[in-house]
Chain A
Amino acid sequence: MIAFLLKRVAWAIGVVLVLTFITYLIFFPGLRAAGLDPARLATNKTSTPQTVANARKFLGLDHPWTYQYGTFLLRLVRGPSPLEQEVSSGQADRLGFSFRNRLGVGHLVVSRFAVTLGLVLGAAVLWLGFAVFFGVAAALRPRGWIDRACSVFTGALAGVPVYLIGFTLLYLVAYVPTTGSFLGLHFGSFTLLPLVGYSSLRLSDPWPWAQHLILPWIALALAMVTLYFRLMRAEMLSALDQDYVRTARAKGLDERQIALRHALRNALPPVATLFGLDFGILLGGVVLVETVFGIPGLGSLALTSVLNLDVPTATGVIFFAGVLVVVVNLAVDVLQALLDPRVRYA
């Protein structure tokens, strides 16, 4: 197990290093090759040569690219240097300094990550809950009405882009009630959910936070549920066809007990593995959902920083999201190894 762990951790570190290198190549030498100056792009406001000079000093652009990359890595490990602290008026952190926002990139990323985490976790509860419950129900009665209804429902969703789901929900659930009429039907207008805005989570009163996220949760869950339902159903059907299930039936166990205590436990690991991988990727930023609903998460930060070529922020977000994926993958691998000894020796 230790050897397995060490191997996986070493692999993860290698992947992170490759990620930082490729990110750096795109945003620094790559931009220069395109005839652009990363320092001027980073500062955005270049009305003084001094501001650009500060950015150039901070980013190490007066040195060879190997020095620049080394500084980039060193800052990740030990934090900003005294020079970087001085240029950024103490705001720089390990992920750098956004001249546009005048904030440490790490500070920006962490605050946005918390928002995305709330969005992804809430949606995950919905799509996993649906997939497990209805996947099991569908497998227990193949071609029954639950199976057919869920298959049609998820099959229809499979082809619908998440932004269309989002805008449709926004229109039908948040907007139409306020008009008091829909397709010729008239009713008293009311407000069901807010159309704009976001509130931070307060444990003493979580409702303002939740009401801004209900529709994004549903939109993201609808976009993810198809694959999970089908996988859960298929794994359950496969598990129910195993010898140990036949033995359990022969012993006279109740079908419900067989399904929940025996078959489901064996059907869940592939779903859990997929969830782990998706979770890491989604945490990196659910760009489309965040954009449609105006959620100030990591995805929207990534989008605006890349569109604006805000180099320090873009590299920081990409690096952070990449590390998240690697870490979650590592955690999934370790969990699998703990649950299934066969994995450790594969």
Chain B
Amino acid sequence: MRQARSWLPIALAACALPLGLSACGGSSGTSTSASAGGASPGLIGPSVNDVPKSPTRGGRVRWVISSEPDSYDVTNTYSGFSWSMAYLVCNGLMTYPDKGGDTGLQPVPDLAAGAPKASADTKTWTFTLKQGVHFSNGKVVTPADVKATFMRMLNPKSSGDTIGYFLPIAGAPAYNAGKATDLPGITISGQQITFHLTKRVPTFPLRLALRTACVVPKGTPPTPQTTNVPPTTGPYMYAKIVPGRSATMDRNPYYADEVKAGLMPDRGFVDGYDISVGGSDTQANLAIQANQADVSANRSGSIARLAANPKYKSRIVSLALPEVAYFWLNPHVAPFDNVKVRQAINYAIDREAIVKVLGGSLVESPWGQVLPPSFPGVDAADGYPSKPDLAKARALMKASGVHTPVTTTLYNVQGEPYTSMGTAVQQMLAQIGIKLNVRALPGSALVQYVSNAKNAAPMGLYFWQADYPDAEGFEYPLLCGCEEVGGSNYGHYSNPDADRIMQQAVTTPLGPKRNALWEQANKVLTADAAWVPLALDRWIDIFSSRYHAFLLSNAMGGAADYAVGYLDK
């Protein structure tokens, strides 16, 4: 999911199926990803990706967003941007620390009193809940609320997009299908909550750190709430929501005392957030420049112009996300059933030109592999080149035996800059004898159309962002021919060698061995040209002169941790 491309959370949600993992995997190391082929980030305040040592407290942040988050109800959020907002208002059993770099990718207890106890087979996970934490309505959080949170998420009337991650809880599939009224896989004993899983899930703590697993009170209606969102436990709470217009966050009145008592970390230095929804990105940028707004995340053309202005450069942050833009190829449809054709395309594509079309180096970085550089072991030097190698591409086309010109269709996203990108790609592939027809659809319609195998779409544009820092949610759901994987493998690609490696990886405990397996699969998939990776997306924020400190959590699908921000007095 990503924050600026409003169709993407829709698309990713559409592809999620209950029978398997469906969303995106994980990443590590904002420091390495920040430098991967892109503009250097601006710096604000003490530093980017660090918690300020002595922030001033107080003031209200004026936040401008061009379109509404997919939901204010934390259980139903599914985009980097809505998780950025959820990060301010809620807590789950686990979370990620307010740290940049690799330290920020290791989950830590949040509402849990300590690290979980896991069985050797990672099928049983036991947590002890902290005592004395309050929801913003004053109710104390209990283990019953934790269980109710997952029952709400898995309720048939719910429409949460991370349900697939929690279906391994015993009884969850039946409960989610409306065939059961309880969730026997979650048991409570005093302050202890135990999750009984039906299969090995070494990444369970990472999944519990998702914002959709934020704890809400027992009794919250299962259907997604629009304005009367459930109370949560974070440093802030939603005071008022006017759909399509505005939202207000005020301080959670109980959080400060919990910080003093050592129960919760000291986060959230401002008094609240006044969020204005709607308007163009240009309007938002003008408001920031005029200091009528403090924060805006957008990718408008004016951002690049502002970044070139010394007055504003230091107020713009551009950080690489664990998100890859790519063309998937359907190996069941000619000419992509020929690996040499797929490889030829990878050498014919000018990734630097595509980055320019998509907005420039502030917005994108060229990339030529399946896994983004934030994953352990990924070497940026591997993969397909940023600049085209037409001689090699033509030689591969000749060796493929495919008679040229050959015609095929690219399913593209409607609107700019993708229309221009489609035109550019047509010209690039024409040089190697591939005549490309481009069919554009709105984002949600595109996903739905290409997911239907009967449509036999040969090639399409997509973007994938890691939900948590493990490749189990990246290459596995996208490229494994495994039965249990969900519907995000639009090309219906399968490689027996890569499948075997990935299926071994998912059951391997977290650590170097698991990471090495994912990287091995990455190399196999990249060499087999399962995709045409194009670019890494970047998170861009512009801030007013009075706002300081910013942290991007690549752990959480590229969500921003605005809680580290503070304002001048």
Q: Is B353 an interface residue (CB 8 A)?
A: no
Most buried by B among A54, A191, A196, A307: A196
B442 contacts A44, C-beta separation under 8 Å? no
Q: Which of A288-346 contact B (CB under 8 A)?
A: 291-296, 300-301, 304, 307-309
Contact A50 B178 (CB under 8 A): yes
Instruction: Mark out the residues of chain A between 170 and 192 whose CB falls within 8 Å of any chain B CB in the assembled complex.
Output: 170-171, 174-175, 178-179, 191
Nearest residue, chain A, Cβ from B227: A103
Whether a CB of chain A sits under 8 angstroms from the CB of B159 is yes
Q: Does A64 contact B (CB under 8 A)?
A: no
A196 with B18, Cβ < 8 A, contacts A48-B156, A48-B159 known: no
Q: Within 8 Å of chain B (Cβ to Cβ): is A238?
A: no
* Cβ–Cβ contact B176 & A50, under 8 A: yes
The distance in angstroms between the C-alpha atoms of A36 and B451, with both chains bound, is 10
User: Does A308 lie within 8 Å of B243, measured CB to CB?
Assistant: no
A89 at interface, CB cutoff 8 A: yes
- Report B-chain residues with C-beta under 8 Å of the C-beta of A108: 243-244
Q: Contact string, A189-221, partner B, CB cutoff 8 A, digits 1/0?
A: 001001111101000000000000000000000
Asked if B283 is at the interface (CB within 8 A of a chain A CB), the reply is yes
The interface residues of chain A lying within 8 Å CB-to-CB of B162 are: 47
Inter-chain CA distance A175–B306, complex, in Å, is: 15
**CA A41 – CA B445 in complex, angstroms?**
7
Contact A102 B224, CB 8 Å, known A46-B16, A308-B7: yes
Q: Which residues of A contact B444 (CB under 8 A)?
A: 41, 44, 308-309
- Contact residues in B for A196 (Cβ distance below 8 Å): 64, 276, 279, 283-284, 287, 292-293
Query: Which of A34, A36, A174 lies in contact with B286, CB distance below 8 A?
Result: A174
List the B side residues contacting A279 at CB < 8 Å.
none
Interface flags, A143-176, vs B, CB<8A=1, else 0: 0000000000000000000000001001100110
Residue of A nearest to B76 (CB): A45
- Does B161 sit at the interface, judged by CB under 8 A? yes
**A45 pairs with B161, CB closer than 8 A:** yes
Q: From residue 33 to 85 of chain A, which have CB atoms closer than 8 A to chain B?
A: 34-37, 40-41, 43-51, 54
B300 at the interface (CB under 8 A from A): no
Contact code string A98-110 (vs B, CB < 8 Å = 1, else 0): 0101110000100
Q: List chain A residues, Cβ under 8 A from B242.
A: 200
Contact of A35 with B226 in the complex, beta carbons under 8 Å: no
B286 touches A170 (CB 8 A): yes
Q: Which residues of B contact A233 (CB under 8 A)?
A: none
CB of A112 within 8 Å of the partner chain = yes
Asked if B395 is an interface residue, CB under 8 A from chain A, the answer is no
Q: A191 to B286: give the CA distance in the assembly, Å.
A: 13
Q: Which residues in chain B, 273-331, are within 8 Å of chain A measured between CB atoms? A: 276-280, 282-284, 286-287, 289-293
* Nearest CB of chain A from residue B523's CB, rounded to whole Å: 31
Query: Could you tell me the distance between the alpha carbons of A69 and B189 in the complex, rounded to whole angstroms?
Result: 54
Given B157, B159, B245, which contacts A45 in the complex, CB threshold below 8 Å? B159
- CA gap between A54 and B293 in the complex, in Å: 41
- Determine if B448 is an interface residue (Cβ-Cβ < 8 Å): yes
Question: B204-227 vs A: 1/0 string, CB under 8 Å?
Answer: 000000000000000001011110
Which residues of chain B from 59 to 108 have a CB within 8 Å of any chain A CB? 64, 66-67, 70, 76, 78
Asked whether A191 and B290 contact (CB < 8 A) given A293-B279, A309-B442, the answer is yes
Task: Say how far A230's CB is from chain B's closest CB, in angstroms.
Answer: 31
B287 x A195 contact (CB < 8 A): yes
A295 to B244, CA, bound (A): 10
Q: Is B223 touching A102 in the complex (CB atoms < 8 A)? A: yes
Tell me the minimal C-beta distance from B441 to chain A in angstroms: 8
What chain B residues lie within 8 Å of A200 (beta carbons)? Answer: 242
The answer to whether B163 touches A178, judged by C-beta atoms less than 8 angstroms apart, is: no
Q: Which residues of A contact B286 (CB under 8 A)?
A: 170-171, 174-175, 195
Q: Using Cβ atoms and an 8 Å threshold, which residues of chain B touch A101?
A: 226, 243
Cβ–Cβ contact B245 & A308, under 8 A? no
When each residue 512-555 of chain B gets 1 if its CB lies under 8 Å from chain A and 0 otherwise, what string results?
00000000000000000000000000000000000000000000
**Distance A63 CA – B279 CA, assembled complex (angstroms):** 40
Expressed in whole angstroms, the minimum distance between the Cβ of A119 and any Cβ of chain B is: 13
B159→A35 contact, CB < 8 A: no
Residues on B with C-beta less than 8 A from A54 are 157
Q: Is the CB of A47 within 8 A of B442?
A: no
> Is A294 touching B279 in the complex (CB atoms < 8 A)?
yes
Does B455 count as interface, using CB distance less than 8 angstroms?
yes
The answer on a CB contact under 8 Å between A291 and B224 is no
Inter-chain contact B10/A178, CB cutoff 8 Å: no
Q: Are A51 and B279 in contact (CB under 8 A)?
A: no
User: Is B191's beta carbon under 8 Å from chain A?
Assistant: no
Inter-chain contact A296/B278, CB cutoff 8 Å: yes
- A295–B156 contact, CB under 8 A? no
Q: Which residue of A lies closest to B243 (CB)?
A: A101
A294–B159 CB distance below 8 A = no
Q: How far is the CA of A315 from the CA of B368 in the complex (A)?
A: 42
A239 to B249, CA, bound (A): 60
**Residues of chain A contacted by B163 (CB below 8 angstroms):** 47-48
8 Å CB contact of B157 from A35, A41, A50, A296: A50
Q: Chain A: which residue is nearest B7 at the CB level?
A: A308
- Give the interface centre of B163, B276, B279, B284 by most chain A CB atoms within 10 Å: B279
The answer, among B159, B160, B177, B282, for a CB contact under 8 Å with A43, is B159
B449 part of interface (Cβ distance < 8 Å): yes
Chain A residues with CB below 8 A from B495, complex form: none
A102, A195, A301, A309 interface centre (most CB from chain B within 10 Å): A195
Q: B244 contacts A112, CB within 8 Å?
A: yes
Q: Which residues of B contact A47 (CB under 8 A)?
A: 13, 16-18, 22, 159-164
CB B403 to nearest CB in A, in angstroms, measures 29
Contact B290 A296 (CB under 8 A): no
For B177, the chain A residues whose CB sits under 8 A away are 50
Interface mask (B253-276 → A, CB under 8 Å = 1, otherwise 0): 000000000000000000000001
Could you say which residues of chain A place their CB within 8 Å of the CB of B277? 296
Give 24 CB contacts A-B under 8 Å. Answer: A31-B445, A36-B445, A45-B10, A45-B14, A45-B70, A45-B78, A46-B14, A48-B156, A48-B176, A51-B159, A89-B157, A102-B225, A108-B243, A174-B290, A175-B290, A197-B246, A198-B278, A200-B242, A293-B279, A294-B66, A294-B278, A296-B278, A308-B443, A309-B442
Closest A-B pairs by Cβ, 7 of them: A294-B279, A178-B290, A294-B278, A50-B156, A195-B287, A45-B159, A47-B16
Given contacts A36-B445, A293-B279, 13 further A-B pairs with CB under 8 A are A48-B163, A49-B18, A51-B157, A196-B287, A198-B276, A198-B278, A292-B280, A294-B66, A294-B280, A296-B245, A301-B244, A308-B10, A309-B442
